[in-house]
Amino acid sequence: MELLEGERVLAFDLETTGISTSRDRIVQLALIGSDVDGTEISYDQLVNPRRSIPYESQRIHGISDSDVRGKPDFSEIADSIAELVEGSVLIGHNVRQFDLPMLRNEFFRIGALPPEPKAVLDTLEMVRRLKLPRPHRLGAQCSRHGISLENAHTASADAAASLLLLWKLGLDHPSYFRKSLAEVEQWCATGSTAKVQSDLGPQLDDLELVDPNGMVRRDGGHMVLAVGRHRGRHLEELNDLDPRYLQWLLSPNGITDENAIEQIKTYLNRG
């Protein structure tokens, strides 16, 4: 697919202890695809969640407490995951609403900043935008498009299936994919191809530093995040939008300059 040429492309899927992205934990993680030079990437790892896996979840993915005993916990694989995900194009079925938030919360738990993919192409969003017949779950869409899904509900099988589904959607509906990567991602997420840009645009890096590393900058009377997935947003917005990200930013793992932290706290508490 021309859209993905020259990119690290990774199909992404998780198996977990449950469906809560804030409370449950990862028990298996798969990243399947290729690097920018075409080199194959196949990462499939069982993860010890340091808690018992509920029977209801075991019935779905077949991973038991004995399967993860002796396996690394998330902190031991976090660096490897971050290296793969950072700057990549992530593909998955319901990846934006489930797999990515789950992954990000695992990073927050260990006091680390989550990696940022270059783009997220969610095949569940795609089939909905294309108004394909229900059901929209991965297994049903694979069956509809002639994609074999053996070992369903294992992370690697579901990840690979979502990659094949994207390829098939591109063949069947090519006009939707003759756009830039950013436009296709925007269409998936919102149904529109209008480009979303920060009001600050390319001038963001020219603003006055609040902290020495330039993570936060000053725009008149506002403080603006200059890094990560919320780049360009006022810090006030993060109180409602993503408070855990704001907590990380003000932790020892985020901004390390004490003067900058005090300035930010004063700014957030004003009025």
Q: What's the confidence (pLDDT) of residue 238?
A: 79
Taking only the tens of pLDDT, the chain with its 271 residues reads 889 999 999 999 999 999 999 899 999 999 999 999 999 999 999 999 999 999 999 999 999 999 999 999 999 999 999 999 999 999 999 999 999 999 999 999 999 999 999 999 999 999 999 999 999 999 999 999 999 877 677 899 999 999 999 999 999 999 999 988 988 998 898 887 654 444 444 467 778 899 988 889 988 788 888 877 777 788 888 777 788 888 888 888 788 889 999 999 998 887 5
The HSE-up count of residue 34 (CA atoms within 13 Å, CB side) is: 11
Give the pair of three-digit tokens for residue 91. Answer: 């593909």
Q: What's the confidence (pLDDT) of residue 170?
A: 95
- The total of other beta-carbon atoms located within 10 Å of residue 129's CB is 18
Structural domains of the chain, ranges and CATH numbers in brackets: 2-190 (3.30.420.10), 201-269 (no CATH)
Residue type at 213?
N
pTM to 2 decimal places: 0.75
